[in-house]
Amino acid sequence: MLDTLRDVLINHNANVHRGAYRLSAVATDLYDEARRKISRFINAPSERTIVFVRGATEAINLVAYGNEHLFQQGDVILLTLLEHHSNIVPWQLLAKRRGLKLAFVDISADGRLDMADMREKLSSLKPKLVGVTQLANSLGTITPIEEVVTLSHAVGAKVLVDGAQGISHLGVDVQALGCDFYVFSGHKMYGPTGIGVLYGRPERLAEMQPFQGGGDMISYVSVEGSGWADVPQRFEAGTPAFPEAIALGAAVDFLSRFSRQDLREHERELLTYASEVVGKEQGVTLHGPGAASGAQTTVCSFSIEGVHPHDFATIADTHNVQIRAGNHCAMPTLRKLGVPATVRMSFGVYSVPSDIAPVVEAIREARKMFA
Ligand SMILES: Cc1ncc(COP(=O)(O)O)c(C=O)c1O
């Protein structure tokens, strides 16, 4: 990925879609090829369903703005208590603009989606749109998105799946899943920052209004008005982050070298081991459904009695462990669990069991210091 990014910046650095000269034509070809790679990676029906954006957050905002005209006052958007702030706040802003109501599906004490509550809210509220994460970044909960899509479509709701974590840790086949939108960020799948993807079913993208205007998203411009380019360019105003998009294609090549099953097994094993080792330390409480449940992967979130997560993260840093502490941009989730913040280990393809020993050392040191 890094080599590709460097190569594009050094050797193919000309704006795409300006193609009268070779540099631009090559950059455009590479950009188009990246779109095709990403389309194949998620089994989209066509590369025209892949919109390049800055990341999952921008993708969700694009869906919220682009579909604004389809919502009427009083319509309901159903989210879940497992969502990242970026799958809550854009809908709150939309709700304010259009007079909509938001509702949230509850979670259990161990952080699983309460499917009985989801069924009840789907049938009583008849939401227009359901937004659900595939894999919660706060707790590592895997949600039953197939079931959510089926149940939601049965009441006429469209479904946006937040795949920011799911894309690299679980994978997706958007056609088999049948979701209306699927969003993800490059930097959470071994790609660069500043690039991400909105996948939309063709009919969903066709009914969306442009969100930003400018170059590249038009078919013509006159002083009286403008016409829109076809999808997906309609939603890609201005100079795109083409080096990052092409490098995201290289990240897809990298991830595609592994079997999905191997990747999932690797992260499941690490989670099992880490939960066991860290969980038996004095004062440690693990959060989430637990590795053995099959409903959690890759993330091990915990609290240490008497030690603030931020203090712990500072101590862990001295053990050369860079660990995330705080609310993980999921304040409603943590509030429901009754904890203000947690410490979170998260694993990837490069993680190994020996990464966990320094975490245990840091826990002991922190307990000695604070508890
Ligand atoms: C589940 C989930 N959704 C959305 C986001 C937002 O992603 P980004 O900040 O790359 O737009 C994140 C980032 O942590 C996430 O983990």
**250 and 271 both lie in a single domain:** no
pLDDT value of residue 20: 83
**147 and 65 both lie in a single domain:** yes
What is the H or E stretch that residue 271 is in? Answer: helix 260-279
Residues lining ligand 1, CB < 6 A? 55-57, 84, 86-87, 133, 137, 162, 164-165, 185, 329
**184 and 101 both lie in a single domain:** yes
pLDDT tens sequence across 88-124? 999 999 999 999 999 999 999 999 999 999 999 999 9
**312 and 236 both lie in a single domain:** no
Is 300 among the residues known to form the active site? Answer: no
CB atoms near residue 183 (< 10 Å): 30
**250 and 318 both lie in a single domain:** no
**269 and 202 both lie in a single domain:** no
The residue among 256, 282, 302 that closes a domain is 256
pLDDT value of residue 290: 96
Confidence of residue 371 (pLDDT cuts 50, 70, 90): confident
Strand order in the sheet with 299-304: 284-287, 299-304, 342-346, 324-326
**249 and 166 both lie in a single domain:** yes
Confidence of residue 54 (pLDDT cuts 50, 70, 90): very high
End-to-end CA distance of the chain: give it in Å, rounded.
44
Within 13 Å of residue 24, how many CA atoms lie on the same side as its CB?
9
CATH number at residue 160: 3.40.640.10
Determine contact, residues 81/104, Cβ cutoff 8 Å: yes
Going by the DSSP 8-state scheme, the letter that residue 108 receives in this structure is -
pLDDT tens sequence across 10-46? 999 999 987 789 999 999 999 999 999 999 999 999 9
Which residues lie closer than 8 Å to 370 by C-beta, 6 or more apart? 306, 307, 308, 311
CB atoms near residue 325 (< 10 Å): 17
pLDDT tens sequence across 288-325? 999 999 999 999 999 999 999 999 999 999 999 999 99
Determine contact, residues 79/91, Cβ cutoff 8 Å: yes
**244 and 312 both lie in a single domain:** no
Pick the atom of ligand 1 nearest to 137's CA: 16
pLDDT value of residue 57: 98
**211 and 322 both lie in a single domain:** no
Among the listed residues 89, 325, 329, 339, the single catalytic one is 329
> Which residue segment(s) compose the domain that 306 sits in?
260-370
**197 and 338 both lie in a single domain:** no
**171 and 265 both lie in a single domain:** no
Instruction: Give the tokens for residue 37.
Output: 């790679």
pLDDT value of residue 66: 98
pLDDT value of residue 140: 97
Q: How far apart are the CA of 82 and the centre of ligand 1, in A?
A: 12
Beta bridge partners of 158: 129
CATH number at residue 264: 3.90.1150.10
What is the number of domains present in the chain? 2
The angle at the Cα of 3, spanning 171 to 33, to the nearest 5 degrees, equals 55
**252 and 210 both lie in a single domain:** yes
